[in-house]
Amino acid sequence: MKEHLRATARRLGLERIGFTTAAALREDGARLAAWVDQGRHGAMRYLARDPARRADPTALLPSARGVIVAAVPYPPAEDRTVAAYARLADYHRAIAERLERLAEELGRLAPGTESVVCVDTKPLLERAAAAAAGLGWIGKSTMLLDVERGPWTMLGALVTSAAFEPDPPARDRCGTCTACLDACPTDAFTSPYVLDARRCLSYWTIEHRGPHPEEIREAQGARVFGCDDCLTACPFGPPPTDEDGAPVLPVADELKELTPRETIRRLEDGFNRNFKRFAISRAGKAGLLRNAITAVAHEGGDGALALCRRYVDHEDEGVRVHAAWAVRRLEAAEAPR
């Protein structure tokens, strides 16, 4: 049955799947709880709500006995403006639809089987499940790594009442390499395998509401959403493409040429119209504007100062504070020496 499901998954566009048990994540739940107790989750209060539940698939499906995890590669971004995964065309729906069809096939093979699809939006430790299912290992960057694909993989899971012999876990191949830790612009890793979200640019540009500390604004550079520095530093990957040279999860045309200034223009044109259907919308309208203004201050150039001045009286505090900071930074850069 496992081999049949693997073949079905490949036909559906799920490059790889792995199998593990519903009980395999308990230790990871304890580690998450300890991480939260240390406050390293920052303002992400949803992670503090019963963290052990995220390691218990029966909380999603009381009859759960097994977990099938799917891994789908995606391409790195060509610049740092937007994290590569956030440029993808609705990966939530794309992976979820394929997992739903895999669940239908499982139900055909084992009538009466119950299944729940999880793609990034349900309380399940998907990376830990993927590692338990042999799809890679958790690297020093806390990302799931694979020899051929590196960290460039999106995940989805099928929690099911069916039981399977678990696949063997992958061996940790990080060795003495610290490239990901050394690449972090804010020293967000307190030690190998431990990330403090309160120093991570992805946390600040995606999850945090309101103004950023000045040291974070300086470290952000021209980024608008997320940070891939620890991913791009990894010596493993990037993933192979299909026979036509196209990634399995394609980049959305609308996000291919997104610059900080273009982000502001599109926000003025309408947040929902331009961003709502993409992962980049997670930052919220004010958060994206705050980030884009900060990025423009780093880029500089003609019209940057005038653009940032337009937002110094904005209704949102984060936008106001960052706009005023951007104006000061740009004025100082333009002042005669």
Q: What is the DSSP string of 76-104?
A: PPSSSSB-GGGGBS-HHHHHHHHHHHHHH
Write down the H helix ranges in the chain: 2-12, 26-37, 91-109, 126-132, 179-183, 201-202, 214-220, 229-232, 260-269, 271-275, 284-299, 304-309, 317-334
DSSP letters along 210-258, please?
SPPPHHHHHHHTT-SB---HHHHT-SS-PPPP-TTS--SSPBPGGGTT-
| Burial readout 1-40 (b: 16 or more C-beta within 10 A, e: otherwise) | eeeebbebbeebbbbbbbbbbbbbbeebbeebbebbeeeb
Query: What is the rounded distance in angstroms from the CA atom of residue 127 to the CA atom of residue 142?
Result: 9
Catalytic residue among 50, 79, 120, 302: 120
120 flagged as catalytic? yes
Q: How many CA atoms lie within 13 A of 29 on its CB side?
A: 17
pLDDT at 243: 57
Query: What is the rounded distance in angstroms from the CA atom of residue 165 to the CA atom of residue 247?
Result: 31
Q: Are 180 and 187 within 8 A, CB to CB?
A: no
Type of residue at 57? P
pLDDT at 81: 96
3-class SS of residue 331: helix
> Tokens 């790594």 map to which residue?
145
3-class SS of residue 317: helix
pLDDT at 245: 55
Average pLDDT per 10 consecutive residues for the chain, totaling 337 residues: 96 95 92 94 90 92 97 91 92 94 97 96 94 98 96 97 96 98 98 97 97 98 98 91 64 91 97 94 97 98 97 98 98 80
Domains of the chain, residue spans = 2-160, 186-226+259-334
> Tokens 């039981």 map to which residue?
163
